[in-house]
A and B are shown apart, each in its own frame.
Chain A
Amino acid sequence: MIDFETVAVDRVSRHFGRRRALSRVTFTARTGAILGLLGPNGAGKSTMLALLATLAHPSEGRIRYGVNEVSALGAAVRARIGVLGHDLFLYPELTAFENLAFFAGLYAIADAPGAARAALTQAGLADRADDPVSSLSRGMRQRVALERALIQGPRLVLLDEPFTGLDDRSTAALTARLAGLRQSGAIVIVATHDLDVADGLLDEALFLRDGRLVETMARPAGLRSIYRDVMSRPAATPASPVGRA
């Protein structure tokens, strides 16, 4: 089973025709840390997460899990990555239990039903195990989706706007869960708009604008004003095209 202590993003760019989604982004994420990807819509946060999840390849640059790139690791690296997407990745017609058991089976977990039950208990949803997901509230669905993302015990956890539409109680529960993940040594990367929640949660904040990484900050406090500050800086002047390949 592969494992890795760091995820290194090295001058990664991604473009579609003339549209530049990401431009030479470089950072390293380490175990036991929560990284935040912050930025306005269209800044490239979701694209970055998709690249980290191995759903797409960078147009330029490399992503390394430990010392290896995806091409060297193959499908096995996907077993170590857990993704909570914007759209939750749950089948609405299936029950919470069935969803978890299905994905546990896909990830080749030995006792899929047992793992599913344990996950539901962890999320505090054991009593709603046999209800179809479509009948659950947004907060509950989010919790099931989070358990689905974590059921295989991933090393790298990617979350795309996880706090959207959650009430205070669910938000607190999610924050606690993320802190627990950090404790257990996972690498957590969260893309979010929710600066108030992110405040105090993040070990490192990465500010993205127009696909560029404009600022990184360790242990940020008072995120809202920092964000406003960073985003209101004038756009960087284009560097002279030296040595363009």
Chain B
Amino acid sequence: MSFLRILWLILRKDLTVEIRSGEIALTALLFAVSCVLVFAFAFVRQGVPPDGAAAAVLWIAVLFAGTLALGRTFDRERQSETLRALLLAPAARPAVYAGKLAGIVALMLGIELLLVPLTAFLFQDPLFAHPVWLAAILLTGTLGFASVGTLFAAMLVRARSRDMLLPVLLYPISVPVIIASVQGTDALLQPEINVAVLRFWVTLLTCFDVVFVTLALWTFEALMTES
């Protein structure tokens, strides 16, 4: 199916470029780690972290690092105008979006892979007690954030003030994702997990993902074509 083929081509290209240069992955990762440290210094009182801080800190760091990674990824496409080249190809535009989205999600998941142990370590919270639930929240939450972020970042490529505008646009729209991800992760850290609550948040995130990825696929063509 040509949609998947294009998606795979673009994803593979993005991963190759990133592995070769390592720029975005490494700098975003370091930024995320610094974020977590700053929060640790801000919140930990006399060696004791406040209740429920781990979940909040993790997701705030993911959010900030993700925003930077998004900005930088599309900045790179702007440098040699390669985004234009992608749009010039007869490849269906939604497939181009899906390919870039897959790349961003892969990048963010990679960062989270290192961030989660770090947060668990610094805040002494049992983040790994229920790995399947954790994975579900990380996956659905990251996809939700990235689905909107990729679309907005692609549209902002040629706009002025794009560095400021991306978070301004992205964060309010991401509020449901933030609430659900943080609360879901927090629910995981309780001594007795409440499965109903977890199920609610994961379901909400999944619905968000479905709705917004679909909306993005539908409107990507119209949004990227200059009138």
A residues 111-165 near B (Cβ < 8 Å) are 132, 148
- The number of chain B residues touching the other chain, given as a range, is 20 to 34
Contacts of A102 in B (CB 8 A): 9, 13
A residues 53-83 near B (Cβ < 8 Å) are 53-57, 75-76, 78-79, 81, 83
In the complex, which of the residues B13, B86, B93 has the most CB atoms of chain A within 10 Å of its own CB atom?
Answer: B13
Task: Kindly supply a per-residue 1/0 record for chain B positions 76-105, scoring 1 wherever the CB is within 8 Å of any chain A CB and 0 otherwise.
Answer: 000111101111111111000000000000
Contacts of B82 in A (CB 8 A): 89-91
Closest B residue, CB atoms, query A81: B88
B residues 187-220 near A (Cβ < 8 Å) are none
Contacts of A76 in B (CB 8 A): 90
Contacts of A103 in B (CB 8 A): 85, 89
Q: B13, A89: Cβ atoms under 8 Å?
A: no
B39: shortest Cβ distance to chain A, in Å?
33
Q: A85, B225: Cβ atoms under 8 Å?
A: no
- The number of chain A residues touching the other chain, given as a range, is 20 to 34
Contacts of B86 in A (CB 8 A): 106
Q: How far is the CA of A89 from the CA of B80 in the complex (A)?
A: 5
Q: How far is the CA of A148 from the CA of B88 in the complex (A)?
A: 12
Q: Does any Cβ of A come within 8 Å of B161's Cβ?
A: no
Chain A residues close to B by CB (< 8 Å): 53-57, 75-76, 78-79, 81, 83, 85-94, 98, 102-103, 105-108, 132, 148
Chain B residues close to A by CB (< 8 Å): 2, 5-6, 9, 13, 16-17, 20-21, 79-82, 84-93, 225-227
